[in-house]
Structure 1
């Protein structure tokens, strides 16, 4: 999402096959579950209209360091170039090089002010669940990002992907992304009280992530393992 996108999206999946991704080469970019920019990098990051997606109930599955994982896999969430992102009531697991990365001073300012949030969600990463890259560490550093996300933004850091309680999220041939009974995904109620989430567009779910325990809405039309 970039170039001034404004919109609301609910219920989405992003699943990475550990062995398959575009080749980065010497000039390309890493493969991320979310990469959200305001501009293409050639114009000021403060250019309006700013990219401002409001997203809820996503499940994003990275390679989780499985055998054969390509070195071109990157982050679960990459917010950069001045974007203002709200990602809420979601689950991000198995991110290879980092979970949530905030780049550049403008994007850091947006996250620190609350214009951007990773909110009421679950996160787990192979390394570096939180990371800040920017010239001015006085705006936001990695420790502050961690405290903000796990504090007032109400998200939870998991020590293992299994702690989310999804049935079989890393089975790329036939993933089962529904939460188990009693799991964090199923017992953590969605929150819709910040950054436009209170809009009537959103279903006010009693779970987080893309699915509840009974409805696999990919069944019958999604084809896996191809």
Structure 2
């Protein structure tokens, strides 16, 4: 009996041990610690703009665009992504500092600074006679006039910085500021992106830059114009316009490009503009180009057929949009914001349009004056003054004049555009110009003039155009033009005229968002038939690629 009890006791003990062991095996194992967003390493830890950088960490998004990477405060494009690695390129405008990564609203930073080193500087002078490529890991310094000659193509990577040397750096000793000149038969392929624009800027240090520090960009093509074949360019640039008459000539691509502090004055009345197009053909692509602080005109077209969209003229010295010598291209979406304290001795205008240069020439001029200067502009906004315009010289060399000075037999047309704060709105100058307007080949429709001292006037010459004639033309009901005494009626953004970081979108109830007119030349297929007047509807196309503070931007 005792033996049986002992056996039962041992079986009971063994059963308990088995049960305990089984119970332990069925318990849940500890849950691993959940991964969180983190930056572990950055390699390399230093380098110039354009350097490829790999960031390792945890919880990155595998879709590159869903990761936001900042080098200090400058965004970088994420080219590849896994859950543990991000590949990025050091962006133009980056400064030394921490790298931050934001995913799903959460942000983490690197443990140590990324040190930005200066890019190597490559000096350029004389002729570029063979095709070459400029890359964003270097800075290119223009010394004197630099020509890309016929047959050569200059390709410029997105994010590349090109600096224009001042007159002291001219290797010829002739005091010519650095200028890039694309000769007829040559090409420039400068195709930046919204996140990595190509920047032409001053060689001066931040805070020391000024209007006209260097020459600018000049493109010469083979499209029609109305000058002699032997006609040369302004500013002492070599070469002649020729007589090729190739309407669709292709000089390349300018896309997402900024040109800052150009427009050097060589002698009185002999300047280079921010960007100058000589007989450039319609095969050339021009889109998203900003010219800032030009010492002469921001944009000027001498003949040619080239079209353009999304242009910005910022704080220029002289005219914003100057058309001459038979230019017949089309432009849509263009905005100008002026510094009220700077204007030219000649009287700065928004538009200045001529068919010939004056100087005693007859209206027909060389080449029979044909083709007539007859571009078509649409959706343009020119902003000069928020209050009563003033015409006195302050920091510049002269006064403001007209939003539109149309003269010397021009046949320009302007649609659905707004001009605010000029002493004069429209100056219709010359009997031949009035004749074009009356015939309808010069066409102004859907125009809004606001805050102008003299909204519309003629040239007041003995054989020219009277104020009454100009006013009768502009005010005809069919033209659907508007004159306002108070710009606030337009319900613009409160920061529309703000020089440091303007905001151009009109308010949701602005009258500019309706009543656009697309008749006659405005019906051309080139134009997107927007409902709004001025350069902006509900989309700010200047976002991302423009810079409204180039004075203080480090370019190294």
Q: Same fold (TM over 0.5)?
A: yes
Partner-residue secondary structure (3-state), 2:432: helix
1:35 paired residue among 352, 355, 365:
352
2:511 paired residue among 184, 188, 194:
184
- Asked if the contact 2:391–2:400 (Cα under 8 Å) also holds between the matched residues in 1, the reply is no
Question: What does residue range 67-82 of structure 1 map to in structure 2 within 5 Å?
Answer: 70=393, 71-82=398-409
**What is the match of residue 547 of structure 2?**
223
Runs of 4+ residues over 6 Å off in structure 1 = 66-69
Aligned partners of 1:69 and 1:222: how far apart in 2? Answer: 30
Mapped pair 1:200 → 2:525: yes
| Higher RCO, Cα 8 Å, sep 6+ | 1
Mapped pair 1:21 → 2:338: no
CA RMSD in angstroms comes to 1.9
Q: CA deviation at 1:67?
A: 7.9
Relative to structure 1, is the Cα distance of residues 63 and 172 closer, same or farther in structure 2, using a 3 angstrom cutoff?
same
Aligned partners of 2:475 and 2:422: how far apart in 1? Answer: 17
- Asked if the contact 2:329–2:376 (Cα under 8 Å) also holds between the matched residues in 1, the reply is yes
Aligned partners of 1:150 and 1:122: how far apart in 2? Answer: 11
Relative to structure 1, is the Cα distance of residues 117 and 125 closer, same or farther in structure 2, using a 3 angstrom cutoff?
farther
Question: What does residue range 83-122 of structure 1 map to in structure 2 within 5 Å?
Answer: 83-96=410-423, 98-122=424-448
- Asked if the contact 1:75–1:99 (Cα under 8 Å) also holds between the matched residues in 2, the reply is yes
Aligned partners of 1:201 and 1:19: how far apart in 2? Answer: 36
- Asked if the contact 1:104–1:135 (Cα under 8 Å) also holds between the matched residues in 2, the reply is no
1:6 paired residue among 304, 322, 328:
328
**Unaligned residue ranges in structure 2 (runs of 5+):** 1-322, 552-556
Partner-residue secondary structure (3-state), 2:522: coil
Deviations 1:157-179 (CA, angstroms, capped at 9, x unpaired): 11111112221332122222211
Q: CA deviation at 1:110?
A: 1.3
Q: CA deviation at 1:68?
A: 9.5
- Asked if the contact 2:389–2:421 (Cα under 8 Å) also holds between the matched residues in 1, the reply is no
Aligned partners of 2:541 and 2:340: how far apart in 1? Answer: 23
Equivalenced residue count is 215
**What is the match of residue 149 of structure 1?**
474
Question: Quick check: 86-95 or 163-172, which moved more?
Answer: 163-172
Question: Quick check: 63-72 or 159-168, which moved more?
Answer: 63-72
Relative to structure 1, is the Cα distance of residues 125 and 44 closer, same or farther in structure 2, using a 3 angstrom cutoff?
farther
Aligned partners of 2:468 and 2:507: how far apart in 1? Answer: 32
Aligned partners of 1:7 and 1:108: how far apart in 2? Answer: 21
- Asked if the contact 1:32–1:73 (Cα under 8 Å) also holds between the matched residues in 2, the reply is yes
Partner-residue secondary structure (3-state), 2:436: helix
Q: CA deviation at 1:83?
A: 0.3
- Asked if the contact 2:389–2:452 (Cα under 8 Å) also holds between the matched residues in 1, the reply is no
Q: CA deviation at 1:109?
A: 1.3
1:174 paired residue among 498, 501, 513:
501
Mapped pair 1:63 → 2:385: yes
Deviations 1:34-70 (CA, angstroms, capped at 9, x unpaired): 1011100032223221100111000011235468964
Relative to structure 1, is the Cα distance of residues 156 and 67 closer, same or farther in structure 2, using a 3 angstrom cutoff?
closer
The structure where strand makes up a greater share of residues is 2
Mapped pair 1:49 → 2:371: yes
Relative to structure 1, is the Cα distance of residues 68 and 124 closer, same or farther in structure 2, using a 3 angstrom cutoff?
closer
Relative to structure 1, is the Cα distance of residues 59 and 110 closer, same or farther in structure 2, using a 3 angstrom cutoff?
same
Q: Quick check: which has more Rg, 1 or 2?
A: 2
- Asked if the contact 2:418–2:449 (Cα under 8 Å) also holds between the matched residues in 1, the reply is yes
- Asked if the contact 2:448–2:483 (Cα under 8 Å) also holds between the matched residues in 1, the reply is yes
Aligned partners of 1:31 and 1:67: how far apart in 2? Answer: 12
Q: CA deviation at 1:199?
A: 1.3
- Asked if the contact 2:349–2:400 (Cα under 8 Å) also holds between the matched residues in 1, the reply is yes
Partner-residue secondary structure (3-state), 1:177: coil
Question: Quick check: 63-72 or 170-179, which moved more?
Answer: 63-72
Report the TM-score, using the length of structure 1 for normalisation.
Answer: 0.87
Aligned partners of 1:4 and 1:161: how far apart in 2? Answer: 34
